[in-house]
Structure 1
């Protein structure tokens, strides 16, 4: 339309001397068989294009009302006014923040911008509390608001570093939120932070390097107690005393090329407890599964009853010097207290998720159960 129609100003005075009411005239052109534009009348132009010969409203709307105004598409009218049913997000976000979501100590390295809520809080509980305070909002809108704030209900553990918590309270109370240079407590915490960072970098180095076939690097941890049986909705099972099951995991650390099958040592309280002797027996059972591996490295936390006791150390010395396995050396590497997230925690989380999806029984996602 822009290429076929042009407009020119008309004379201000008609032939009879009266002023003209028209401020412009349109010139219509169509191309002939040689693609040369030829001037035609308005009736021929509109009829050729399939429009009514006396209805030129399309030409007027396209070409505009004023010849002095440059041709341009009309402005987008969307979004100029807020919709009447738009939800005010400010009180909604304030209510969500009142539950004090925090960064999980286990996932800070992997998801630094995600915050978590305690496990005893659910989305339905938060929404019900919001509605009880005379607020109007749909459940879906509330759920989207929680998601937009990057808040999750998944937690891999409850451990928090006491030194980091004390430092956080200290800088808020004494240093307006920032660590001081000449403060003894801040300097002590900086040493703690550097040590934790160093152990984490060493763990990442073990995870990223290529391991030979005769070397196995694993993270070792005892999952929190599992209460069996799990039969929700069955009253006879709900009011029955549960049996406690223990699960010690030996999870491979590193690249997919270095991954080895996870070893899970599972027992219940009818067989043994979880003292140093029982945990040492779990180590012995796992070492038996890798009896042909020459070099074994275990990343463990600082729990003294499980990983820092003479029962475990003397037993490992006895096993590595015996003829039952071919292992030449066993190395124990400890994380800094309070900063012990490792691959075993991710595996435990997978087990818990599997138990939630299959409440009728416990399924361990591994290939070796001792």
Structure 2
């Protein structure tokens, strides 16, 4: 027997969702504030954007032809308002944990060479890309070999909360 949600239960779930969203934004704002007060702290968000298919056409015959999938991984520094895009196509690599970790590794290396001591990262909870054993292993490796970087924090949020 299936349960039909009542209007009251839907309203409660919606209010809980909104409360969580407010908390997430507050945590991000606090990290951004810390980064603005201390140049040795960086707060950034990262995400793999929607797949970009090429060629793109409105002609119906090309819709069923083989198109090339392109991936765009973006890291956005909350304090400096600078974004970095890592773009590759499916012929070069996939879009799994190794590829995502490589992009973040390059970002962390750049921050380390710039004198940053702490990086606070925010991302969604995608298991294949973010919530896996590869990302923390890469972070530990980076910290062991870093000159300045001492701490990396990764905050995972539910989809649509960030």
Q: Does 1:308 align with 2:131?
A: yes
Q: Distance in 2 between matches of 1:178 and 1:300?
A: 27
* Aligned partner (choices 148, 154, 157) of residue 332 of structure 1: 154
Q: Which consecutive unaligned segments of at least 5 residues does structure 1 have?
A: 1-168, 180-185, 342-370
Q: Distance in 2 between matches of 1:297 and 1:215?
A: 8
Q: Distance in 2 between matches of 1:176 and 1:309?
A: 33
Question: What is residue 252 of structure 1 aligned with on the other side?
Answer: 77
The 8 Å contact of residues 24 and 161 in structure 2, kept in 1 or not, is answered as no
Q: Distance in 2 between matches of 1:278 and 1:178?
A: 40
* Aligned partner (choices 76, 85, 88) of residue 264 of structure 1: 85
* SS of corresponding position for 1:306: coil
The 8 Å contact of residues 73 and 85 in structure 2, kept in 1 or not, is answered as yes
Q: Distance in 2 between matches of 1:190 and 1:239?
A: 43
Q: Distance in 1 between matches of 2:56 and 2:9?
A: 49
Shift of 1:171: 3.2
* SS of corresponding position for 1:334: strand
CA deviation map 1:38-70 (0-9, x unaligned): xxxxxxxxxxxxxxxxxxxxxxxxxxxxxxxxx
* Residues 231-310 of structure 1 aligned to structure 2 (within 5 Å): 231-232=57-58, 240-253=65-78, 258-291=79-112, 292=114, 293-310=116-133
The 8 Å contact of residues 265 and 285 in structure 1, kept in 2 or not, is answered as no
Root-mean-square deviation over aligned CA pairs = 2.9
* Aligned partner (choices 54, 61, 64) of residue 228 of structure 1: 54
Q: Distance in 2 between matches of 1:310 and 1:191?
A: 30
Q: Which consecutive unaligned segments of at least 5 residues does structure 2 have?
A: none
Structure with the bigger RCO (C-alpha within 8 Å, sep 6+) is 2
* SS of corresponding position for 1:338: coil
Shift of 1:284: 1.3
Question: What is residue 218 of structure 1 aligned with on the other side?
Answer: 44
The 8 Å contact of residues 55 and 68 in structure 2, kept in 1 or not, is answered as yes
* SS of corresponding position for 2:45: strand
* Residues 1-370 of structure 1 aligned to structure 2 (within 5 Å): 170-172=5-7, 175=8, 179=12, 194-209=19-34, 210-232=36-58, 240-253=65-78, 258-291=79-112, 292=114, 293-323=116-146, 326-335=148-157, 337-341=158-162
